[in-house]
Chain A
């Protein structure tokens, strides 16, 4: 259990390192950068996200037609994967992370593009939504995880799982089979049916499965979905959240 948890922490730290390095090669957001980004977008993104970024590309027409998720509507839709508070735009770093990692079962990782190319396409994607103009999205403070969890901490995490109502959607054992899911009550902001994450399958978690990624998802929520942000209501009770994160990691059946 502790080895798996340490691996999850290690993966998170590795991603932080990648993100820090990526920031070092980020080109200036100017017309030339956006023009290059447009060329990449038309090759790599348009097929799903559409020429105007509305999530209505040739493939986007049928992807998510009857069940969430649809390809992201860059022009006005919600951004699920952020480090910012609920309802806010993502940071550039958030967009870079999603482009680099992809989204399990939905979007391939574009790590085949150079880092500069990824930044260029991000600069272009932001032109679809006027809200980005002049905006400076600010990430929540997402601390590094504390040391390896204790059994008492895991037990507190289990209680927190119930206190925060996680079982309503994710189920008692994290399989994504909570009552709200089974009753078909969970819908995205377009009214499409949406399934909660299966917490026992780390690889399937769309916003990442490292300890940091889980912490981030709990704090920011996933906009466009029923998953709410807990950042405000828990008011700095970090210990409960980390205990919850470690408890969720114990639900995974994956071997280290």
Chain B
């Protein structure tokens, strides 16, 4: 009896030694999901979360005939400019920005995340990205052919650099805010966008169209959404002192 009891205790200890870490890991993994935006925002101020939606027709990818370096670029290039989640109509690669008034933008925010412009298989990767002004842009050519990376802001050259095959990675600072149109003059089908903001209140939508912007001050703010083909959309949102504001922004 005592032996069976001792065996049961040992089995219980073994069970607990396995079960407790599993439960702990499970909780750790679930905690971000379990935590409400309300609790996470209490220390950092209000959070604007939401989705950018599009329910209109989604055109099929465009097939462009390649007229240069087909060995590297392929004979045709498939271009998808509108990527929508079929289930919930979430729009990918839209950029959402909250416009704050003078004096509402936190001072001393340093752009620490580099912006990548990768030339690979005759495409710019990523196709769309948002960045903070002052961030370092890193331009890379992984192709065995020459490209140039020509970045244009407001009809003016922000940077136009030759990307010789096997050349160095080029690192520069983004000095201007606004829509940066990226093109390669050697391969005219290579185009991309970088949206550069003077403040950190922006986000790029995920594959399901979701975004989240934290740290904005309370009050009435205008939200601006940009998309490559659908253009610019605006909506005014009242942001409380604390908590989460859920905003769905739909292109009509």
> Distance (Å) between the CB of A152 and the closest chain B CB?
21
Are B156 and A224 in contact (CB-based, < 8 A)?
Answer: yes
| A165-B186, A228-B148 given; A86·B161 CB < 8 A | yes
> Distance (Å) between the CB of B73 and the closest chain A CB?
14
Are A229 and B155 in contact (CB-based, < 8 A)?
Answer: no
Are B152 and A189 in contact (CB-based, < 8 A)?
Answer: yes
With beta carbons under 8 angstroms apart, the residue of A77, A186, A190, A221 that contacts B160 is A221
User: A163: CB under 8 A from chain B?
Assistant: yes
Stretch at the interface among A4-12, A143-151, A177-185: A177-185
8 contacting pairs across A/B (C-beta < 8 A): A76-B154, A86-B160, A87-B158, A180-B185, A189-B155, A221-B161, A232-B161, A232-B170
User: B70: CB under 8 A from chain A?
Assistant: no
Are A233 and B188 in contact (CB-based, < 8 A)?
Answer: no
CB within 8 Å of B: which of A230-251? 230-235
CB-CB under 8 A from A221, the residues of chain B are 160-162
With beta carbons under 8 angstroms apart, the residue of A189, A232, A234 that contacts B157 is A189
User: A137: CB under 8 A from chain B?
Assistant: no
Choose among A168, A169, A190 the residue with the greatest number of B CB atoms under 10 Å from its CB. A168
Q: What does DSSP make chain B's interface, helix, strand, loop or mixed? A: strand
Are B167 and A233 in contact (CB-based, < 8 A)?
Answer: yes
| A179-B68, A180-B185, A233-B168 given; A190·B155 CB < 8 A | yes
User: A66: CB under 8 A from chain B?
Assistant: no
Q: State the A residues within 8 Å of B (CB).
A: 73, 76-78, 86-87, 163-165, 168-169, 179-180, 183, 185-186, 189-190, 221, 223-224, 226-235
User: B163: CB under 8 A from chain A?
Assistant: yes
A186 to B158, CA, bound (A): 18
Are A233 and B164 in contact (CB-based, < 8 A)?
Answer: yes
CB-CB under 8 A from B150, the residues of chain A are 226, 228
CB-CB under 8 A from A163, the residues of chain B are 146, 164-165
A168 to B69, CA, bound (A): 11
The 7 nearest A-B residue pairs measured at CB: A233-B167, A223-B157, A226-B185, A228-B148, A165-B146, A228-B162, A78-B157
> Distance (Å) between the CB of A129 and the closest chain B CB?
10
* Chain B residues touching A, range: 20 to 34
CB-CB under 8 A from B146, the residues of chain A are 163-165, 168
Are B156 and A233 in contact (CB-based, < 8 A)?
Answer: no
With beta carbons under 8 angstroms apart, the residue of B67, B162, B175 that contacts A183 is B67
User: B64: CB under 8 A from chain A?
Assistant: no
A49 to B97, CA, bound (A): 36
CB within 8 Å of A: which of B114-165? 141, 146, 148-152, 154-165
With beta carbons under 8 angstroms apart, the residue of B152, B157, B159, B164 that contacts A164 is B164
Are A76 and B156 in contact (CB-based, < 8 A)?
Answer: yes
Q: Given A87-B158, A165-B186, 12 other A-B contacts at CB below 8 A?
A: A78-B156, A163-B146, A165-B146, A165-B162, A183-B67, A186-B185, A224-B156, A229-B160, A230-B164, A233-B168, A233-B170, A234-B164
Are A87 and B167 in contact (CB-based, < 8 A)?
Answer: no
User: B75: CB under 8 A from chain A?
Assistant: no
Choose among A87, A163, A169, A179 the residue with the greatest number of B CB atoms under 10 Å from its CB. A87
> Distance (Å) between the CB of B146 and the closest chain A CB?
4
A15 to B151, CA, bound (A): 32
0/1 per residue, B160-190, Cβ < 8 Å to A? 1111110110101001000000000110100
A76 to B155, CA, bound (A): 9
Choose among A189, A224, A227 the residue with the greatest number of B CB atoms under 10 Å from its CB. A189
